[in-house]
Chains A and B, each alone.
Chain A
Amino acid sequence: QKEVEQDPGPLSVPEGAIVSLNCTYSNSAFQYFMWYRQYSRKGPELLMYTYSSGNKEDGRFTAQVDKSSKYISLFIRDSQPSDSATYLCAMKTGSSASKIIFGSGTRLSIRP
């Protein structure tokens, strides 16, 4: 079993829809949770991060962490065609020496 599981999609929704992207994980030691966005033929870029459980909002994006269920989500409101990309969840433990573990990514397409 992989440490981090993510549905690869593809996911296609109409413009303006609410998008929900999710990941599950198995390592209860993970403390830092991140979402990266990767446009075609580009490197991943950090979109949002959260520490431990709870929600974090940034504009149209909301990251949610449920440590009891080992489940994290990214919600995109009022989705735009420019949101079309691959979204990778990522996480790491609290140890400064630990490395980030990435999900395999979900490919998202927003139809105009």
Chain B
Amino acid sequence: DAGVIQSPRHEVTEMGQEVTLRCKPISGHNSLFWYRQTMMRGLELLIYFNNNVPIDDSGMPEDRFSAKMPNASFSTLKIQPSEPRDSAVYFCASSSQGNDYGYTFGSGTRLTVV
């Protein structure tokens, strides 16, 4: 298995532009998580899906952020419009239901908004 696959690995964009981050979870995993990591705030859970349904989006910072999971093998996190304070590493992770032992993370997307 190739693991959790995220794209792009790096994204540099100008303030005000739309940014779309992509994630392919591990096949068979039915839970998917989007995290943001910064030096100041550490690893923050933004939203998670179970069986493609958003369960908890309380971590989404504001309406500029949205996430979708149209099927079991693909999810997107969109920021529109982007702002410099959105600069961070965004991780996608997946797990299988009933797995109490942790998530498998992708390699992350490093986003820089200038």
Contact = CB atoms under 8 A, between A and B. Distances in A.
A41 B91 CA distance: 11
Interface in B44-96: 45, 48, 55-56, 91, 93
A100 B56 CA distance: 13
Given A34-B101, A100-B102, A44 B43 contact: yes
B106 interface: yes
Contacts, number: 52
Given A49-B101, A49-B102, A105-B42, A99 B48 contact: yes
B101 A46 contact: yes
Interface stretch (A11-19, A64-72, A88-96): A88-96
A73 B98 CA distance: 25
Nearest to A34: B102
16 contacts: A41-B107, A41-B110, A42-B107, A43-B4, A45-B105, A46-B103, A49-B102, A92-B100, A96-B100, A99-B45, A99-B48, A99-B56, A100-B102, A104-B43, A105-B42, A105-B43
Interface residues of A, number: 23
Given A43-B107, A43-B108, A32 B101 contact: yes
A102 interface: yes
Contacts of A46: 101-104
Contacts of B56: 99
B92 to A, nearest CB: 9
